[in-house]
Amino acid sequence: MEIILQEDVEKLGNRGQVVNVKDGYARNYLLPRKLAIAASPSNMKRLEKMRAAFAKKEATEREGAQQQAAQLASVKLALSRKAGENDQLFGSVTSGDIADALKAQGYEIDKRKIQLTDAIKTVGEFSVTLKLYRDVTATVQLVVSREA
């Protein structure tokens, strides 16, 4: 089934692209969530107008993400967790914990934009990458300390 993407979809494509996907994926996931519309002849004609609107929206989103990345460059987060004798945490620090710490400092970042390869399970200093937009990333310093 051919569809026109209305939002960026990870590992599928960017806004305004016409892509071919399986019928069930389009019917059950993309179309109900308004991430895409069917590529009918009338929608294909509207695509040029939609692309102009997408270009404007993309420019403002990219500019906003770059400004936010500049602000986040100087942010240091500190979290304290209970830890064992050899600095192993009881539990872990996840992207949700980092999003909450950023929110406490006034930065509204979705936890899905925080890129951790694995949950942090030891005490120490870590660099955490935030993917704010397609090619705009920011790095935040995170210090995980032992809870007293």
Structure confidence by residue, pLDDT tens digits, 20-29: 999 999 999 9
Structure confidence by residue, pLDDT tens digits, 2-61: 999 988 888 899 888 999 999 999 999 999 999 999 999 999 888 888 888 888 888 898
pLDDT interval class at 93 (50, 70, 90): very high
- Domains of the chain (ranges plus CATH)? 2-64 (3.40.5.10), 73-146 (3.10.430.100)
- What is the Rg, in whole angstroms, of the alpha carbon atoms belonging to the chain? 20
Mean pLDDT of 69-92: 89
Residue 137 pairs with which residues in a beta bridge? 131
pLDDT for the residue 122: 92
Q: Report the alpha-carbon distance of residue 120 to residue 51 in Å, rounded.
A: 41
Question: What phi and psi values does residue 37 have, to the nearest 5 degrees?
Answer: -130, 155
